[in-house]
Structure 1
């Protein structure tokens, strides 16, 4: 039963990664691609790690928990930083944005031009 559950988790994780990769190719703008690069990829990795952890002894599975924690902490932060860098350099398509909350926040800063 554990083998079936492990295989199902790994297959779901791989499917999630494939969906994220398709999003990178198919989405039209940078900000959408950032979304596709982080959310499904992180979920896919977590599912694959869970499937692998079921196959390992508990003392080795703890290392996978550290990998998962590192991924969950760093992926959203890096995505946020890349998005802000793209916004600051004008690499994103501002006319495609429905709302520009960051632009409003930056305009409200003291010393903003």
Structure 2
């Protein structure tokens, strides 16, 4: 029995999704610091899982004759929550570390983060304006 064009399309999307998931997982394991490790699961692996879900969205109507919105909802939820989660993890890491960040040999940041304050562009630290002599709140 010959594979139709839909089966070839589904197979190609699954292989591409598996490749993205593999590369994202490898990046998560091999990157040197938390800030660089965030890219693997939030960007590349999200594309891998999203590709597998899209292949499932194509398979069931084309082969089984049934349609379900579950895969579409999971894909939308994944694409909406992964970047927000990464942003929150990065902000929490910056605030936990203060001005010292993870050492990363790929960065040229040896002295820590650039100066913060109004107009410097570091939005996560913009609200922290107090005199160092004041007691903590």
TM-score range, shorter chain: 0.7 to 0.9
| Structure 2 partner of 1:75 | 82
**Residue 81 (structure 1) shift:** 0.5
Question: Does residue 1:51 correspond to 2:41, yes or no?
Answer: no
Q: 1:86 and 1:4, CA in 2 relative to 1: closer, same or farther beyond 3 A?
A: same
**Residue 100 (structure 1) shift:** 4.2
**Residue 59 (structure 1) shift:** 2.3
**Residue 46 (structure 1) shift:** 1.2
Report how many aligned residue pairs link the two structures. Answer: 112
Please tell me whether the aligned partners of residues 30 and 92 of structure 1 are also in contact (alpha carbons under 8 angstroms).
no
Residues 88-99 of structure 1 mapped to structure 2, 5 A cutoff: 88-90=95-97, 92-93=101-102, 96=107, 98=109
Structure 1 spans left out of the alignment, 5+ residues = none
Bigger helix fraction = 1
Which structure has the bigger radius of gyration?
2
Give distance in 2, aligned partners of 1:102 and 1:68: 39
TM-score (norm 1): 0.83
Structure 2 spans left out of the alignment, 5+ residues = 133-137
Runs of 4+ in structure 1 over 2 Å off: 94-105, 107-113
Please tell me whether the aligned partners of residues 46 and 68 of structure 1 are also in contact (alpha carbons under 8 angstroms).
yes
TM-score (norm 2): 0.70
CA RMSD of aligned residues (A): 2.6
